[in-house]
Amino acid sequence: METTRLIIVAVGGQGNLLASKVLGEAALLAGVPVRMSEIHGMAQRGGVVESAMVFGDAQSSIISDGEADILLGFEPAETLRAIKRCNKNTRVITNTAPVPPFTVAAGLGTYPDVEEIKRLIQAKTAGLVAIDAMALAREAGSPMSVNIVLLGALIQTGTLGFDRDVVEEAIKRRVKPAFLDVNLKAFDMGFNAAANA
């Protein structure tokens, strides 16, 4: 079985650990071996949270620089910061809605222009899908569903080889019933947005 390496980067609180658990569940349903590793701990204190997911036959659970097949970014500047994890064949999916780090307000840095972020990623990799996942999440009914919007976009690209109904089933298993409808809607909106991106 081919190995597919996915890196998810997000800001603490954006729900990337749930997103990776949903993908793990989908892998089980699809019969694909998966290992995943995450770095958290400082997440609640506004830091960056990164998950690595290795699908297929490889046995390692982390991903070296330059070796991600897919980069899924929940925040545009964090997607660009993680670009060293990519090579020229990497597919990138990113949210375009910024969550500026506090250092910008404190005058210790300038937030890069989002159009420039998109241009740079597009030029360096095998393709970029950029959607305003925050706007879609709000439209779906909750800004908290931004993670599932992005999963929808990821699945639409076909890079993981999972059918959408498998992932929807995984969402049903992993998301609390009270939030299920919003999240299924969010998934659908992300899926459709990526098709038109």
Applying CB under 8 A, the residues found at the interface with other proteins are 11, 20-21, 24-25, 28, 34-42, 44-48, 58-67, 77-78, 80-81, 83-88, 90, 100-112, 116, 120, 124-125
Query: Could you tell me the smallest distance in angstroms from the CB atom of residue 187 to other proteins?
Result: 19
User: Contacts by 122-125 with C-beta closer than 8 Å and gap 24+?
Assistant: 124/83, 124/86, 124/88, 125/71, 125/83, 125/86, 125/87, 125/88, 125/89, 125/90, 125/91, 125/92
Nearer to other proteins, 120 or 182 (CB): 120
Nearer to other proteins, 124 or 172 (CB): 124
Q: Which of 138, 137, 128, 122 is nearest to 197 (CA)?
A: 128
Nearer to other proteins, 34 or 194 (CB): 34
How far is it, in rounded angstroms, from Cα 69 to Cα 5? 5
Query: Could you tell me the smallest distance in angstroms from the CB atom of residue 79 to other proteins?
Result: 10
Nearer to other proteins, 45 or 196 (CB): 45
